[in-house]
């Protein structure tokens, strides 16, 4: 199930592997917390996609690196 995740001025494809609305809500709350993290906001400009699992989100960047966010 593909969706769009909007953060800042950028939209990134979101693959919801958990297929649970609760996971999406937890991700939205975590992204609100990340607005204060300057390093994350800088990295977000290079994000190419996000995979959402039941308790974690994996942000993939254009340089091939990944960032694991705990959302539980």
pTM of the model: 0.86
What is the tens place of the pLDDT at every residue in 1-47? 578 999 989 999 999 888 888 898 999 999 999 999 999 999 999 99
What range defines the domain where residue 6 resides?
2-45+64-70
pLDDT at 19: 81
How many folded domains does the chain comprise? 1
Q: To which residue do tokens 């308790």 refer?
A: 55
Has residue 34 been placed in a domain? yes
Has residue 22 been placed in a domain? yes
Has residue 38 been placed in a domain? yes
**Measured CA distances, 35 to 17, 38, 43, 58, 64 (Å):** 24, 7, 12, 17, 23
Has residue 7 been placed in a domain? yes
């Amino acid at each position: 199930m593909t969706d769009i995740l909007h953060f800042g001025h950028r939209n990134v494809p979101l693959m919801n592997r958990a297929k649970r609305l609760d996971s999406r809500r937890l991700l939205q709350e975590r992204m609100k917390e990340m607005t204060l993290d300057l390093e994350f906001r800088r990295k977000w400009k290079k994000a190419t996609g996000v995979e959402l699992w039941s308790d974690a989100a994996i942000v993939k960047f254009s340089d091939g690196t990944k960032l694991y966010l705990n959302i539980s």
